[in-house]
Amino acid sequence: MKALITGGAGFIGSHVAEFYAERGWDVVVYDNLMRAKLLGHSPAAASFNLAYLKSRFPKRVVHVDSDVRDLGRLMEEARDADLIVHAAAQVAVTTSIADPALDFEVNARGTLNVLEAARRSRRDPAVIYCSTNKVYGDNVNKIPVEDRGLRYVFADPSFKDGVPEEYPIDLCEHTPYGCSKLAGDLYAQDYARLHGLKVGVFRMSCIYGERQLGAEDQGWVAWLTIAAATNRPITIYGDGKQVRDVLYVKDLVDAYERFRASSLRHEVFNIGGGPANTLSLLELLELLSGALGRRPTVRFSEWRPGDQRVYVSRVKKLEEKLGWRPTVGPREGVAKLLSWVQGNLSLFK
Give catalytic residue positions: 177
Closest residue by Cα to residue 16 from 207, 288, 237: 207
Amino acid at 195: H
CB 153 within 8 A of CB 243: yes
Q: Which residues contact 35 (CB under 8 A, 6 or more apart)?
A: 7, 10, 89, 90, 91
CB 112 within 8 A of CB 190: no
**How far apart are the C-alpha atoms of 249 and 18, rounded to whole Å?**
12
Pairing of strands 243-248, 278-280: antiparallel
**How far apart are the C-alpha atoms of 42 and 31, rounded to whole Å?**
17
252 class by beta-carbon count within 10 Å (0-12 exposed, 13-18 middle, 19+ buried):
buried
**How far apart are the C-alpha atoms of 227 and 85, rounded to whole Å?**
30
CB 102 within 8 A of CB 124: no
